[in-house]
Every structure is written in C-alpha cells, then in structure tokens.
Amino acid sequence: MASNEEITGPISQEDVEAADKLKNEANEYFKKQSYNNAIELYTKAIEKNPKNAVFFANRSIANLRLENFGYALSDASKAIELDRSYTKAYYRRAAAYMSLGKYKLALKDFEYVTKVRPNDQDAKMKYTECNKIVKKIAFEKAISVDKKEVNIADSINLDAMTIEDEYVGPALEDGKVTLKFVTELMEFYKRQKKLHKKYAYKILIDVKAYLQKQPSLVDIKVADEAKFTVCGDIHGQYYDLMNIFKLNGLPSETNPYLFNGDFVDRGSFSVECIFTLFSFKLLYPNHFYMSRGNHETLDMNRMYGFRGEVSSKYTSQMADLFTEVYNWLPLAHCINSRVLVMHGGLFSKDDITLDDIRKVDRNKQPPEDGIMCELLWSDPQPMLGRAPSKRGVGCQFGPDVTNTFLQRNGLDYVIRSHEVKNDGYEIAHDGKCITVFSAPNYCDTMGNLGAFITMNGKDLKPNFTTYEAVPHPDVKPMAYANSFFNMLCQ
C-alpha cells in the first residue's frame, strides 16, 4: 500500500484535479467489482492528494471487499484522521473491526457518530443494531461459561428423531455413510433438497469423533505411481464443487483428495458443500483429507453466512455443533514428508518446526497470534522478510522466510490457499510457495478461474487444472450473511 505520510508542502490545483480524475476512474472499476484495479487508482489519487479523506475511505471499502481487513482498517482510520466529521469513514472502520471480530471497537465508532450527529437516524439505527450484536455475543459467552462442560455432540438424542414417511432422500445404511448414500446425496443437493436432520446430525457426530483422534499435523503417504489432488477454497459454491468431481473424478481409495480449508461462507450452498465433504471423509477416512481454514471459525461464520445458513436450513443448535466439529479439523498436512499444505501460510518466527505444528492444541477458536493463527491467516509477499498482514491477522512472509522454513524442515515446497487468484493458482517464491483457489468467479463477482493441483507420489510435481464457474440456482452469495454487515459494506 502507498505510504499514508503527510506531505508538508501545498498541493497544486493540478494535482487536486488529477487526483479527482483518478478517483472517478477508480469508482468505475469499483462498480464493476474490479477491486484490485480500483485500489491501484485510489492509491495513485492518494499519491497526488494525500489530504482527501474520501480517497482513503473509498480504498478502505475496496479492501474490505478483498478481505484485506488490516488495510481497510488503516485506510478508514486515516480518513477519520483527515476529516473527523466524515461519517462514512467511521462506518468503514466499523465494518473492518466487525470483520476482525472486534465488535466492541465497531460499537465505539457508531457511538461517536451518534454523539456528534444526534439527529442522524441512520447512525442511531446502526449503533442500535451493533449494540444488539455485542450484547448477543456477550450473552452467548456467558451461557458457554455456564455450560463449559456441556458437549453438544453428546447431548444430541438421535433416537428421538424420527424419519417421516414423506422423506424420500438419501439414507444412511446401518448409521453409516456408503458410496450409494453420498452419490444420492450429491444428486439430491443438485435439486436443492435437504438432507434429513437425523442423518445430518449423525454425520457431524461421527466426523467429530473421527477428527478428535487425529493430530494437528496429518502425515499423508502417496505411493510413487499414485495420483493425489489438492483443492483450495470452495466457499459454499456447491455446483463448482460438483464440477471439480466431474473434471477429476469422484474421491475414492484410488483417487484421494485434500481440501485445504474454507469450505463454507460467502457462497449460499455451504451446507451442501460441507455435508458432501464430510460424507466423503467418513467414507474414505484415509484417502480424503480436510484442513481447517480461517472460515471454519465462529467469527467468520457469524459474519459471512454459514451460521445463518445452518440456522435457516436446520437449527442454531446444529450451527453450534459445527463450531465444535471445526475445532477438531487438522491445521496442516504433510505429503510424503516433502510438501506441507496449510490454508494460510508461514510464521512470524524462523524457528518453527513440523513438530511444533504437531504439538498445537487446536480444539479452540484461533488466537490472534502464534502458530495456529498464522497457519490459517498468513499470506506470502514478493518482498524479502516479513510485514504486518494486509488482513490484520497473521503475517506476510517473503521468499527468504519460505526458504529458511523449507530447509529447516527438509521440505520441497508449500501449498496454501486463502487468496483469490485470477488463474485459480499462483506460483511464488521461486516455485516454493504455491497458492491454489478452487472457487471460480468467487462470490459471483470476481471473474477468476478456479484450479486444483494433481501430483504423483514419486516426484510430487504440481500439475494445474483450471476451470470456469458453472451455472447455479438463483441464490445470491452472502444470502445468509449478517444483514447488518452487508448494509455496512454497501
């Protein structure tokens, strides 16, 4: 990002006009949802005229759309510093705080606006709505403290759930997932039908029981001539997930897969995605792998739609059970002791080993720093060294950091996901840090390709398959997201 430093000299009229022109061009890109181009032009406008709060506030919302919450926060704060009365900048900062799960700080911004503009009904309404969220979360926390020992999976009474005669969907056989079940389930979901809650709960309970026995870092062995596939973010894009299986074959003992986090949120078919993936996990536990992403967390699910979707299609109790299950997802996988796969990236310290990852106590919401946080949130950067994260969580790491980590741990390269890429993948750090993102035309707006990686066990050379988005029923992304957050990001 461009420096936000004040300049001491006066700004010429010529620069002011040039900056306004750049801002208008950027606004056009923003309307077309071409956020990277918009950011580039807002940055150029700021370079011409760093004293205009609007440029920073506009760049802030573009960064919010790209999930660069750290940059969005810093830009909104700069806009406020330049113009204390600029209401929109407070809204942008509040949205950034909320994206980072800092609801009380968001509330402070709304409170400030209501004080300086007591007759602003919109500000009053946003303050009230944010206050409700803060109180609800405080209430949920209080309840969870009171019920510390309550385990949701253990409290579900499956025997009390009856399968109604009119239910004609897929059924577990003797309580077990079979290939017939999962094949029928995928077709059932394509027709926008809903799996019976008894089977849904049973799958979650069984997956949790399995995952609890797994280490935080799972070692995967792939035979020399065997094929192995790694997929990146799916983000609730069920019909694109089905397209991956069409292009690359269904998961099986001879066609193993690793899905590298962010199965849910944003896309409005997240329930369908996660139950399909969990069914394959139960069917082929040693040939189908799933890593935790930063969206398999409570704060993200609360804001970006998954919690709302589960509560709408099932119950809020099931949403709580999902949180319990996600806490047990492994944080990373190591293929043939040579390739490390994690959702986010590497670390703020140089001395981290694979054993350190194995020892992480993962049964919790990710902390704001440390190994677990960085595995889920970090991103690579082209520059050497490290930098604060554009997301406001984790860190950014350069090619030297990647090299040091690989040498220390005897690895060839790392695969991570977590970032939209135009081609569905990106090879960085001299081929040693690969990003794969499997949700094409992310959120129906980004126009990117999706990709997956295939390799054989012998040389582990990554091969990339890219594909375009396929049509899906007319349910918009973020349909179940927190409506207040959506309103803030307009």
Residue 201: C-alpha distances to residues 97, 207, 208, 230, 295 (Å): 33, 10, 11, 27, 21
Contacts of 179 by beta carbon, 8 Å cutoff, 6+ apart: 283
DSSP 281-323: HHHSTTTEEE---TTSSHHHHHHHSHHHHHHHHS-HHHHHHHH
| Angle at CA of residue 310, ends 452 and 132, nearest 5° | 120
Three-class SS of residue 333? strand
CA distance 456 to 108: 53
> In 3D, which of 464, 469, 478 has the Cα closest to residue 439?
469
CA distance 244 to 439: 10
Beta 395-397 vs 386-388: how paired, if at all? antiparallel
Asked if 295 is an active-site residue, the reply is yes
DSSP 198-232: HHHHHHHHHHHHHHHTS-SEEEE---TT-EEEEE-
CA distance 468 to 350: 38
Check: CB of residue 72 under 8 Å from CB of residue 57: no
CA torsion through residues 315, 316, 320, 322, sign? positive
3-state secondary structure 368-416: CCCHHHHHHHCEECCCCCEEECCCCCCEEECHHHHHHHHHHHCCCEEEE
Catalytic member of 287, 295, 333, 343: 295
> In 3D, which of 238, 250, 308 has the Cα closest to residue 274?
238
- Note the helical H segments in 8-82: 13-31, 35-48, 53-65, 69-82
Token digits of residue 355: 């054993």
Check: CB of residue 438 under 8 Å from CB of residue 452: yes
Q: Which residues are catalytic?
A: 295
